[in-house]
Amino acid sequence: MEQLRWLDFVIVFLYFVLVAWIGLRFSRRQNSTDAYFAARRSIPHWAMGVSMFATLISSITFIAYPGSAYAGTWSELYPMFMILIVLLLVGTVLVPFFRHAVGLSAYEYFGQRFGYGARAYSGLAFSAGHFSKMGFVLYLLSLTASSMTGWNIYGVLLITGVVTVLYTVFGGLEAVIWTDVIQGLIMCLGVLVILGILVFIMPGGVGAAFELASAKGKFSLGTPKLDFADKTSLWVMTLYGFFWFLQKYCADQTVVQRYLVAKSDHEALKGVALGALMCVPIWTLFMLIGTLLWCYYQLSGTTFPPDMLDKTGKVISDKVFPHFLVTKIPVGLSGLFMAAVFAAGMSTLSSDLNCLSAVGVEDYYRKLRPNASDARRLFMGKVIVGVCGLAAVGIAALIAWKSERVLSLYYAVSSIISGGLAGMFILAFLSRRSNKQGLWIGIIASLIFTAWATLTSGKNKMVDLGDYNFPWASVMIGVAAHVIVLVVGYLASFFFPPGGKAEWTLWGWLDKRKTGATTQP
């Protein structure tokens, strides 16, 4: 497709106008840091839940999940079910705990427990991980849009980045949440439309597709064997999914900040549950789309153009879904799906920007300028959003110019720094005996391990140590990092006097709930 058809273009244009209008609509209400970062704690639970859903579904999901299911099985879906397990285990405790333990930043908790050093480190770990993600999300969004429309990729990422930054700067978290609501609904509609088209045009009908996919094992969730080197092992995927979502719900600002916007603890719990329950079926539908794409091209006997093949002549799976959208989607519907792709990326970007700003203001700027007025902190928050947003645009442009490999070292470094947050939280929350000395020994041990494992794993190793390379699947690096912080930090704490505020453990929190003294000190 040389250019997007006029009706599709109008749909995408109206989407951009809508999100920009929402940002301006809420700009007048952003007169305090509480309004800017916590939306005055007045968001209804359903909007909070849809916002969490839209934040967790990114443009990476739109391409990676169908591509993964097309090339293989549904093993990438299995860890996503752990979101429900994590919420059942910790949701009813963590949500009210954070609403009373912190003001605006999730990392205030580590400061209360172990001192400012732990707070500063955890904020840095979060920022490094999410900042590195933003550029890639924007790049992938722009690449998909460019491949479908023929538009210049740099123009797409610049316009998308600028519009996202503007409505986030002016509208604060309130605008982010309400645009998330619109974006979440657009994403759901886009997925259902594509699925309906696939079912309608499937050669031999959808029954033939399911029969073929079942015969080839395309619906497999993985193998039950206990092999940590096998990414398709159910054990590996269970551990990966469990710790990934544990970190999300107990140590990720983008999620914890959503807890704070609800009107009450009960409303917050309902919102968190709604967000999780929306994610699972949409993730499943993305995998189903990938499998049905494989069935469609198998049953129709369609051949792919040369630019979709790698050097060995094998189809590049991540290009199949965009190719299908370009060649098979009718006028108007492709514009709707394009809006859904933009919605997925922009919801993630805007959420990350506001949360990075909250961390920057609350965890660092207030330490440097303790006497700064709330108006000054609000101004700095907007500046941080603008600077981080423009930096993300620059990173995306650099990836597009020099390919993803140019930033591989930076991503490796950010992966090393951002590991172990879930382990930190478990250590802080469950152990009265843990102290800051033990915590730092655990962090250092985790950093050393993560550096070794990250640099020596994967097909394109940065450092090849032969028999001493990391032997397990790469997704196990994060799992091991959490466990190392927890185990080493706990054991090391016995070599130092008890320290830290034990009243901010689970046991202290339960005692406070009994007496009603659960407000932030």
Asked whether residue 414 carries a pLDDT value surpassing 60, the answer given is no
Same domain (yes/no): 103, 201: yes
Same domain (yes/no): 279, 424: no
* 278 located within any domain: yes
Q: What are the tens digits of pLDDT across the range 241-295?
A: 999 999 999 999 999 999 999 999 999 999 999 999 999 999 999 999 999 999 9
Residues 6+ apart with CB under 8 A from 327: none
Residue 81: pLDDT band (50, 70, 90) is very high
Same domain (yes/no): 349, 438: no
129-138, 191-200, 415-424: which is most confident: 191-200
The pLDDT value recorded for residue 322 is 82
Same domain (yes/no): 434, 385: no
Same domain (yes/no): 219, 350: yes
Do 183 and 347 form a contact (C-beta atoms < 8 A)? yes
Query: Tokens 């967000």 identify what position?
Result: 275
Angle CA 136–142–143, to nearest 5: 85
Of 404, 439, 458, which residue sits at a domain end? 404
CATH number of residue 111's parent domain? 1.20.1730.10
* 166 located within any domain: yes
Same domain (yes/no): 444, 305: no
Q: Which domain holds residue 10?
A: 6-404
Sequential DSSP letters for 432-459: SS--HHHHHHHHHHHHHHHHHHHHT-SS
- CA 494 to CA 492: how far, in whole Å? 5
* 370 located within any domain: yes
Other beta carbons less than 10 A from residue 268's beta carbon? 25
* 413 located within any domain: no
Same domain (yes/no): 236, 385: yes
Among 164-168, 408-412, 434-438, where is mean pLDDT lowest?
Answer: 408-412
The pLDDT value recorded for residue 518 is 58
Same domain (yes/no): 396, 435: no
Other beta carbons less than 10 A from residue 206's beta carbon? 13
Mean local confidence (pLDDT), 64-74: 91
- CA 446 to CA 223: how far, in whole Å? 29
Same domain (yes/no): 28, 104: yes
Asked whether residue 460 carries a pLDDT value surpassing 80, the answer given is no
Asked whether residue 95 carries a pLDDT value surpassing 50, the answer given is yes
The pLDDT value recorded for residue 407 is 47
**Assessment of whether the complete model's pTM goes beyond 0.85:** yes
* 66 located within any domain: yes
* 410 located within any domain: no
Same domain (yes/no): 373, 286: yes
Q: What are the tens digits of pLDDT across the range 1-44?
A: 445 577 888 888 999 999 999 988 899 889 999 999 999 999 99
Higher pLDDT, 128 or 114: 114
Average pLDDT, the chain: 89
* 239 located within any domain: yes
Angle CA 44–46–48, to nearest 5: 70
- CA 192 to CA 281: how far, in whole Å? 11
The pLDDT value recorded for residue 516 is 66
How many structural domains does the chain have?
A: 2
Same domain (yes/no): 242, 283: yes
Mean local confidence (pLDDT), 210-225: 94
The pLDDT value recorded for residue 406 is 42
Same domain (yes/no): 480, 398: no
Of 345, 371, 404, which residue sits at a domain end? 404
**Helix 253-261 crosses helix 265-300 at what angle (to 10 degrees)?**
130
Of 374, 404, 434, which residue sits at a domain end? 404
- CA 349 to CA 158: how far, in whole Å? 13
Do 164 and 354 form a contact (C-beta atoms < 8 A)? no
* 409 located within any domain: no
- CA 60 to CA 364: how far, in whole Å? 30
